[in-house]
Structure 1
Amino acid sequence: MLLMDNAIITPPSFLITAMSVLSLVLLIFLGCSEIMGKHLKYSKFWNVNNSGKSAMAQIKLSSRTGMLILYIPAFLAGLASFWIFPRQDLRFLMLTSALTFHFFKRNFEVLFIHKYSGGVILDSAILIGTFYFSITATMIYFQHLSEGLPEPRIDLKYVGMIVFLLGISGNLYHHYLLSKMRNDGEKQYKIPKGGLFDKVACPHYLFEIITFWGIFLISQNLYALFCALGISFYLMGRSYATRKWYLSKFDIFPQDVKAVFPYVF
């Protein structure tokens, strides 16, 4: 608790506490839903648990369009923050820059790196896009409310930037490896190779988790902490479901490959 007091800067606000807890609970729920087979419908899971008339009633988008809906609103929220809050201290500037660059990178990957075989169901795209937008805007606003408060005695923003850059670089690298698995026009899924794919099914999710922990360390704000925890739970659930999917589709998928954390889970 003393470490938390020394490392967290959060203004006394019921709204911040309520939003932090709400975001954490929602993400834990989504992570548990992934483990139980109730997936958000994008990538390889877009048509899971859908059949017949109910599937036909849903609106399916192309993967590229759906993924842009996921990430463009959050990118615009980060970009707008430089205009809305022009007078920023260094921690605020580092946080908004990290969030904006993170979602810029995501949109860049959607347009120029990813290769697609499935699709995205519209309601899942709207849900995820709304969530990414809301956590980005809320994190930036709560950081704005924290400006002027005493700095934490344990200053982690520079460590956070290093962790963030490690996470975003590892995520980009493993997305690149995934894109190289298919030739142009190929649709079938394959067992990923290279990088940490020999250790875990979803190293791109591992580095996404690292990215958001880097963002928390830059911010040192309660809301950013709960977002990092919640996203970790959700991506652990998504990774578990992905590993299970690989095992069901490929008899030769290595049993010793974990879901997201090498040798552990």
Structure 2
Amino acid sequence: MGRPLANMASLVNINVRPRGKPIKSLQGDIHISLRESDSAALLYQKLSEESGLSVHRLRISLGRDGDQVVANATSSTLSDAGIADGAVVYVKDLGPQIGWRTVYVIEYLGPLAIHPLLYHLRLAKPSPAQTLTLYMIMGQFAKRELESLFVHRFSNATMPFRNVFKNSFHYWVLSGALLAWFAYSPEMSVSSTALPPLSYFGIFLYAVGVSMNTYVHLIQRSLRPAGTDQRRIPSGPGFAWVTCPNYMFETLTWTGVFLVSRSWSVLLFIVVSVAQMKVWADKKEARYRREFPDAYIKKKYGVIPGIL
């Protein structure tokens, strides 16, 4: 049970109720007293202590329907979050969690293992284009693993554990097994030792896409100093054209792979990926407009200039 803090002005007495499945340790009347200038993160910490659950398993909201979420942020005070004296907050147990970084590492391990396996199982005499396709795809996912470990900073520390299976399906099945099975098909193998001319243009697009995608990721990393939840408006190559130039350069990378492989499975992966990236880009555009209503220059396209 949280205790009122003595000799503090502007105390906020908060009533806690469960939302959804009851949390055993939070049953009954729970009251916590904090200062209105305390951070929302401190409220999460107090409720974590009361419930015995990690702060990452908890979601606190001001409404029973959960639409007024209180962000777990050190930069936001209780007053900023709209929590006044006598407020009722609802706490939901999000279930077992897994780190975002860990999920990324698991996702990309699939293609890194599946592609060389099917390449060697399916092909006795791979064509130069098939061998180059393998190297390009392995390089792309190795880059993603390194960025996941050393570059990316995440807004949320964790996600529900069950999501790892859904997220991994895209990479293990679509860009892993399905893409590799058809890209390394014996029927696609040719005896020629020379690459088709269009392949060289594909190599160029791939090189530009990979390098610029990494550069944009480094820009995005610099926008959020370590240990903070600070957000800033990004700028740099591509940001004047689309909301998410990292997605634009990612699309360019895979277009290069397609021109080398000439496999419909690569094209299918591009279509599905771009559709998903468009959804993410729209959400990011909405967030930029909401958080920086006066300073942010609105973008019409999220992923591909003039198209999406």
TM-score (structure 1 length as normaliser) = 0.71
Q: Secondary structure at the match of 1:61?
A: strand
Deviation at 1:92, TM superposition (A): 0.9
Equivalent in the alignment of 1:210:
252
Residues 1:94 and 2:132 aligned together:
yes
Distance 2:201 2:113 in 1: 26
When you count helix as a share of all residues, which structure comes out higher?
Answer: 1
Deviation at 1:235, TM superposition (A): 1.5
1:141-200: CA deviations, max 9, x gaps? 21222334688x975222212111111111111001111112221223322222222332
Distance 2:225 2:124 in 1: 45
Equivalent in the alignment of 1:111:
149
Distance 1:224 1:93 in 2: 15
Pair 1:256–1:101, CA change in 2 (3 A): closer
Q: 2:188 aligns with which of 147, 154, 170?
A: 147
Structure with more relative contact order (C-alpha pairs < 8 Å, separation 6 or more):
1
Deviation at 1:204, TM superposition (A): 0.4
Equivalent in the alignment of 1:236:
278
Q: Secondary structure at the match of 2:233?
A: coil
Deviation at 1:202, TM superposition (A): 0.5
Deviation at 1:255, TM superposition (A): 2.0
Q: 1:122 aligns with which of 151, 161, 169?
A: 161
Q: Secondary structure at the match of 1:195?
A: coil
Q: 1:199 aligns with which of 227, 233, 241?
A: 241
Aligned positions of 1:1-265 closer than 5 A = 56-81=93-118, 83-84=120-121, 85=123, 87-118=125-156, 119-134=158-173, 135-145=175-185, 146-148=187-189, 155-251=197-293, 252-256=295-299, 258-262=301-305, 265=308
Pair 1:258–1:138, CA change in 2 (3 A): closer
Moved more, 59-68 or 100-109: 59-68
1:120 aligned partner, one-letter code:
M
Report if aligned partners of 2:118, 2:184 keep a CA contact under 8 Å in 1.
no
Equivalent in the alignment of 2:87:
none
Report if aligned partners of 1:67, 1:120 keep a CA contact under 8 Å in 2.
no
TM-score (structure 2 length as normaliser) = 0.62
1:160 aligned partner, one-letter code:
G
When you count strand as a share of all residues, which structure comes out higher?
Answer: 2
Pair 1:58–1:208, CA change in 2 (3 A): farther
Pair 1:217–1:263, CA change in 2 (3 A): closer
Distance 1:76 1:202 in 2: 29
Report if aligned partners of 1:157, 1:220 keep a CA contact under 8 Å in 2.
no
Unmatched tracts of structure 2, length 5 or more? 1-58, 60-65, 70-89
Alignment size in residue pairs: 217
Greater than 4 Å deviation, 4+ residue runs: 47-53
> How much is the aligned-residue C-alpha RMSD, in angstroms?
2.9
Deviation at 1:97, TM superposition (A): 0.8
Q: Secondary structure at the match of 1:224?
A: helix
1:147 aligned partner, one-letter code:
M
Unmatched tracts of structure 1, length 5 or more? 1-46
Percentage identity across paired residues of the two chains: 21
Moved more, 102-111 or 197-206: 197-206
1:205-231: CA deviations, max 9, x gaps? 111111111111111012222222222
Distance 1:260 1:241 in 2: 12
